[in-house]
Amino acid sequence: MKWLDVVAEEDLADGAAALFRSAFGGEPEGVWIAPGRVNLIGEHIDYAGGLVLPFALPYATAVAVRRREDTVMRAVSTHTDESWTGELAEIGPGAPAGWSAYVAGVAWALLEHGVGGVDVAVHSSVPVGSGLSSSAALECSFALAISELFGLQVDRNVLIDASIRAENEIAGASTGGMDQNIAMSAQPGHALLLDCLDGSTRQIPLDLDASGTRLLVIDTNAPHRLVDGQYGARRKSLDTAYAELGVTTLRGLDLEQTVSRLVDDTLVSRVRHIISEIGRVEQAAGLLDRGAAGSELGALMTASHVSLRDDYEVSSPELDSAVDAALRAGAHGARMTGGGFGGSAIALVPSDIVDAVVIEIDSSAARSGLPKPTFLRAEPAGSAHRFF
């Protein structure tokens, strides 16, 4: 069994600062940290005006940053030998490519507010490609850094929007705004109920101890890719459904009446997932409001996975193996989390059988010839902040 240890913020900050000194010389002006996230329930509905229920993880990204006197940006990371140097004016859709698009894109989105050149060094404990939003952790830590360094006088909503634009327009990933919202708004011990239709949020206590449960994140180590066309194809199918139905959102629509108006079987499946998933999030929020994080919540999580697997078709053999094994071993519920096509699953597990569930998931992957999964501890953490 392979567990991913939580890296203390001090160690994350030290790692970013050490890389900064090595790459650029001298000291950074500060280090900022933002968390990865896991979505408890509510998948592929952030871009459909739905409700989502993510929480921040104790796995995070640190950026060490220093202003420059010109309009050049330099970016390095401990996780790759690929660095980027370029003029801010050179940044645009598809340029730069790769991981640096996520930081360069944030600077690009905030240019109108007065951002200048910077050096940035990145160190992270969020596993890349796991579906735990390493990209938003990078965007939001950097957005907060340059906002404070350049005295932008903007609130976090502006930084959230800039981070979303970086991901959508520069990196080319057609994601919604859930990841950036939780990275900027998380509170320890809480999940965030985000209304993606109007942008409103509500903090909901996520008291696992009271229910005698633990949330287990399973990184299947099957690469999670959102820029390969599949994510965009799902969004396009919804646009087609909107046009046929004459609506701009599926929110509040009756499931059976709505799907009866569609002819194409694929559109029926896609719409059925969206409407039913919104309902599951509403039910899950109600359970957590009552302090219930046991079998009822677990049943909603499992139903979510079935819908994502069968109706939205975004699961994978690795994700299905992890979910099925967790349920066999006694988990209250389990589901894929994130965009799908690889990445991570999450399981709600009675506290006294966590080890047994982990063993079964690990063994199931081995029997099927799948990559060895990595297990993460899911304790709701806080939002982006300056470390020093």
Residue type, 6: V
- How big is the chain, counted in residues? 388
- DSSP letters, 1-56, are -EE-PPPPHHHHHHHHHHHHHHHH-S--SEEEEEEEEEESS--S-GGGT-EE-EEE
Q: CA end-to-end span of the chain, whole Å? A: 35
User: Any bridge partners for residue 284, and if so which?
Assistant: none
Measured between alpha carbons, how far is 250 from 177 in angstroms, rounded to an integer? 18
90 φ/ψ angles, rounded to the nearest 5 degrees: -85, -15
Give catalytic status of residue 179 as yes or no.
yes
How far is the C-alpha of 244 from the C-alpha of 233, rounded, in Å?
A: 17
| Separation of alpha carbons 64 and 151, rounded Å | 17
Distance CA 192, CA 337 (A): 15
Q: Which of 46, 119, 179, 311 is catalytic?
A: 179
Coil, strand, or helix at residue 68? coil
Contact 122, 77 (CB under 8 A): yes
Q: Which residues are catalytic, by number?
A: 179
